[in-house]
Structure 1
């Protein structure tokens, strides 16, 4: 199979799960269909699929390979967890057998130092005629020595050790000792040498090294607890201790943060956002993208030996804003152009356009009020003059009346153009006067512009009436403006959303009224609702996507924990779908997926959740206790519902489905763990069927 870059985050996460499944079965094929122009590329990763930088590396490769007819296969050395000669020998023998059995590759890409060392050692035997492109390599000397070598080139992972250490010194001074955490991995040793070389050149001896070559994880945590908050710590590598025990990066980082109260710096992007303050970091996405582009040049016929090794790494300063607050670090203390993650967005930044729109509306209303006041004063002055000069009375009144009518006409025209409704609430008369635009908004004829309060409130949504009534009474008491958002009911029964701004007005005769303006924001609310629907559902089938699945599982897990209940996860993978997709095309394939989704909906309760997390992969969350017999019955019923023929465009498609299951909390307490268990059981069923 082949895979192209996903259209959404849910698809990308599904691809990551697919990597885990295929890693246990050998070469992972990522592209959807092989044709005559397809070029075969092998990527040997030093890591395993859950290694924190692996997904970014694959994303970088796919960003360059997308649309280039590349069939990318992946092999995992897993050298971060297993580094014995016996493991390397088993990997070599397995890969050798695959290379003999499979069609040859036109390009080899290797990630990290261990994969490069393996490729160079086995080049003559396994890759003699295959161009080799490396990236993520820390051994700068080795990489530089390969420049100009026949058949090998690539990208050096040039960490910004000097810049990061200098930043630590600027923030915490020369008197604060720098603690370095590393281990015995190849990357850890190379980067530790870079650190010591820089400190020696700087004549800075105020540092110490905590290496897992001499420490166990437990001993390391004891050392970390003793470090004061004023002493910075640099994390280089933390995967394997002196006893050979290994931890995943996220797990080891979590344990570090549990025992360390000092600021933690890093040289790579992964981990920032999980307790690391920051540093000048390496982008694994960019490393892989540049390497993939070099590989494309080789596939187009350019000699690899003529392509120089790329030694400049596009690193940048990245910091976690939450950690900055924790350690009282100001933005002015950081280098220019630093990227600050998780910095909160102010209310003004979120609604800048709306804020200035309201300011303009309020300003416009204030101008109208001023014009009305000026007009009233002119009329009073005119009346006083008319009392003295009776002869000019009719002409003066007519002139002023025409002026006022013209202004009112202009005002109505401006309101109509701006679609700005207005109203005046008269408490003493228990009535509301509305302009034509407001009447149009709620579906009333303009003749009904003077309404009783009861009639006016009948157009307000029942849930919002008390809010408007209380806000009005409070404004009259304290003589302060108020604003908000209301739902109104049109005459045809449909709902509208209005933003309103109102303020009390005191008249000379002692009366008080409330003037207000409204603007229709129904389309904006509908757009927000559509966006939320699109963000949480699969655009093809309408089922929940991975994002919504995570949210619903979290809610179900809280409820299950409170009620001592269970959650069952079903992992469904369609069999025989790929031949249908290949034979009849994506239109028929998509229609089949829609039909499958509908059958799954009909097979489960409304309280259960059916989600699509991949091309032909579906997940079902079952809430509540479920015995083994009941579970097998549900699985049997689901398989039976999907095995019936699906008729699409005069094509009859017969499918089968493999289903694995996992139960909370017996098989795990987080969704990823449950999916992995269900996926494994589904895969076992697929093998035995």
Structure 2
């Protein structure tokens, strides 16, 4: 047998082993994926007709922290059994007075017919149970009722015994939480309990003092946020000694009855103390909370849903009608356990520990067999390749002669793949690979994202050819700077550059950052002209935890923040930016929902004749129905997102429609002013839109006024001036808004086409006082001299009104007379009693 024949057989064996190992690896991986897919399947979905409908009446609102886990538990039981349920919210945390309950009752009776629409009723928390008991005969008689989440035992027993309900009592486990804290940290002898004056907070206080009486060897103190001004809460928490333990009880309602969210209160507490924090609820966790024993809302609601399912199907309830053994679980933060040196063995057996770092085996253990087989396959394949090399040695000798040429070709292809064809620097993909290969979380470095400000204007003004040459010039300057400092430079996008600075943690004030900013600010001569540019820089620095890929994203986020803050500057990334982006995205979603679902409405602030105190008109101000979104929050996002034109049309239609409604009701009409953003100038069809509305609703243009900030008047573009002419043709008056906040030159008032000048609140606050008020008087007189009227905004005090009236101001607007009102209140408003 020849050597070549032997090598061929060996090669065949290697190939067979490689293929067999690879097939087994694929089979094993397929089994693993199939197993995971099976485990991920949820409960069976009921595909038949709906069997029953149930109403869930909950005491609070959908934002309350228990709502989502409660609904999850109900769905797990109801959906497979063909039961659908609707939800109604009492929102009793904010609206819990007797008057509020009566109002909700009237609303409920008007909207819901229990006997006709539903087969059963679920009640969540105490207030819903009280409501059902109060109106049992009126609304809820002869229908199965199951309650859960009730933490008043007397109330729960009364509901079961007198009103034939079924229910689940809710234990808040405060005593267990404190006893566990004493067990975990026996050396800490001082305890602080923080709570409010809500019924739940006071109930927690009673239990807290009960534990206090059982442990005279410990010192127990309290912080009641209802007795402390909210602005002083930070200072009060900071006074807690460093060797204490903080018990975070029901703590949401402050001294002026404002209800704060769980996350807000948690952040306030953990940001002002560095001691162990324990909670008796399972919510509110973030970095800084050690752990808790809390109710399992999902399991409790599954049990309640099972009771209701049995009742609706005619089965008898074998267990007690009132269940007092509330399902619960305990959770602990691994990082906090390590920080306070707490032995995990002391924790309850069922304790869940989160934030525990995953080991390599945890993450990749299931892949070891597959990887081993793949490795065997690769080794076998390499063996086969090696034998092939031996067999084809002579052939390889011939190929070796062209080795240099192949290497050069490969290097050229590699260079082209890694570099930007246009600027001859690293491209985006290569820059990312470079960071991944050369840096880890242990290295010290900075990542810079640079974007040329308003570069598209250069393209539009000077053409793409010249803009490309400028881009090459700037890239070359940056490359020289990078080469001199051993930095990495890459083109990240059209006019975006990525710089990686090793061994330095830069910030906005670093010399290197200032050099980059100055380089972009340096004038660039172009023929007879000089182009002056600027750039925005985002900075992200290594922190021992963030991967290089994420630093690129962080630098990009910071760069956009620099642009938002005015461009021509640098901004260093902080975690708050990511939170800000997430929050803005949530707000954008609510804004889009408002556009699609009639989510905007208008309020109207009366404008009062300074002499006669008669209403002369209103300013229309937009509001959004989504809870917690105020104009100072959503208006800037509308501006930056390019949606302000769409909002302008929505508000205009709402105002003109309201004018028509007032007219049809026989009310006397007054002009209503609508705010017009300078960003709406691009809405070239706006005038035709408002003209169509006036015609459709048969409203004269004299009842519509447009408020425009002075910046738009100063531009004096053909487009702006044509817009003003078209408004005039429709009989619409123009108001200059916010006079005193911008250029504030009285000279240009002589030629701009406005009928009214609105003095900004900042002028009233800054100058309407002894020694300065002559300035306000002179401004009013000068405006009158050019035959225009003055509206003064932001008037909140009687003495301000009287002084402005003495100075001959024409119209007063502000909280002294009235805040913005709903349409019905606005049209009936009178200022005679002021």
- Take 1:162 and 1:50, find their aligned partners in 2: how far apart are those partners? 27
Residues 1:434 and 2:386 aligned together: yes
**RMSD value over aligned CA atoms?**
4.7
Residues 1:327 and 2:340 aligned together: yes
Structure 1 match to 2:592: 571
Structure 2 match to 1:560: 560
Residues 1:117 and 2:94 aligned together: no
Give the CA deviation at 1:168. 0.8
Give the CA deviation at 1:186. 2.4
- Take 1:309 and 1:446, find their aligned partners in 2: how far apart are those partners? 87
Residues 151 and 304, structure 1, Cα contact 8 Å, conserved in 2? no
SS in 2 for 1:244: coil
- Take 1:71 and 1:140, find their aligned partners in 2: how far apart are those partners? 29
Structure 2 match to 1:39: 52
- Take 2:53 and 2:594, find their aligned partners in 1: how far apart are those partners? 27
Give the CA deviation at 1:162. 3.1
Aligned with 1:244 (options 254, 257, 265):
257
- Take 1:125 and 1:571, find their aligned partners in 2: how far apart are those partners? 41
Structure 1 match to 2:245: 232
Structure 2 match to 1:491: none
- Take 1:564 and 1:301, find their aligned partners in 2: how far apart are those partners? 63
Aligned pair in 2 of structure 1 residues 102, 221: CA closer, same or farther (>3 Å)? farther
Aligned pair in 2 of structure 1 residues 86, 300: CA closer, same or farther (>3 Å)? same
- Take 2:257 and 2:555, find their aligned partners in 1: how far apart are those partners? 39
Unaligned runs of 5+ in 1: 1-6, 8-30, 363-414, 425-431, 466-550, 577-620, 638-689
Give the CA deviation at 1:241. 2.0
Residues 1:626 and 2:578 aligned together: no
Residues 114 and 139, structure 2, Cα contact 8 Å, conserved in 1? no
Equivalent runs, 1:465-480 vs 2, <5 Å: none
- Take 1:80 and 1:449, find their aligned partners in 2: how far apart are those partners? 83
Residues 44 and 110, structure 1, Cα contact 8 Å, conserved in 2? yes
Aligned pair in 2 of structure 1 residues 212, 628: CA closer, same or farther (>3 Å)? closer
Structure 2 match to 1:218: 231
- Take 1:348 and 1:449, find their aligned partners in 2: how far apart are those partners? 43
Give the CA deviation at 1:237. 0.9
Residues 1:177 and 2:190 aligned together: yes
Give the CA deviation at 1:223. 2.2
Aligned pair in 2 of structure 1 residues 147, 102: CA closer, same or farther (>3 Å)? closer
Structure 1 match to 2:274: 261
Residues 190 and 244, structure 2, Cα contact 8 Å, conserved in 1? yes
> Number of aligned pairs?
413
- Take 1:134 and 1:254, find their aligned partners in 2: how far apart are those partners? 32
Aligned with 2:174 (options 153, 161, 180):
161
> How big is each residue's C-alpha offset from its partner over 1:270-322, in whole Å with a ceiling of 9 and x where there is no partner?
11235421122211111211111111111112467975212112212211223
Residues 45 and 77, structure 1, Cα contact 8 Å, conserved in 2? yes
> How big is each residue's C-alpha offset from its partner over 1:60-82, in whole Å with a ceiling of 9 and x where there is no partner?
11111113332311111212233
Aligned pair in 2 of structure 1 residues 462, 159: CA closer, same or farther (>3 Å)? same
Aligned pair in 2 of structure 1 residues 234, 572: CA closer, same or farther (>3 Å)? closer
Structure 2 match to 1:309: 322
Give the CA deviation at 1:84. 2.4
- Take 2:208 and 2:396, find their aligned partners in 1: how far apart are those partners? 78
Give the CA deviation at 1:90. 1.6
SS in 1 for 2:171: coil
Residues 252 and 262, structure 2, Cα contact 8 Å, conserved in 1? yes
Residues 175 and 206, structure 1, Cα contact 8 Å, conserved in 2? no
Equivalent runs, 1:608-687 vs 2, <5 Å: 626=642, 628-629=644-645
SS in 1 for 2:81: coil
- Take 1:32 and 1:96, find their aligned partners in 2: how far apart are those partners? 32
Equivalent runs, 1:368-387 vs 2, <5 Å: none
Aligned pair in 2 of structure 1 residues 75, 351: CA closer, same or farther (>3 Å)? same
- Take 1:163 and 1:571, find their aligned partners in 2: how far apart are those partners? 46
SS in 2 for 1:75: strand
Aligned pair in 2 of structure 1 residues 351, 117: CA closer, same or farther (>3 Å)? same
Residues 295 and 329, structure 2, Cα contact 8 Å, conserved in 1? yes
Aligned pair in 2 of structure 1 residues 553, 356: CA closer, same or farther (>3 Å)? closer
Aligned pair in 2 of structure 1 residues 459, 61: CA closer, same or farther (>3 Å)? farther
- Take 2:395 and 2:123, find their aligned partners in 1: how far apart are those partners? 77
Unaligned runs of 5+ in 2: 1-36, 38-44, 419-550, 566-583, 598-636, 650-679, 686-834
Residues 1:287 and 2:300 aligned together: yes
Structure 2 match to 1:592: none
Aligned pair in 2 of structure 1 residues 447, 630: CA closer, same or farther (>3 Å)? farther
Structure 2 match to 1:140: 153
Equivalent runs, 1:67-146 vs 2, <5 Å: 67-100=80-113, 103-146=116-159
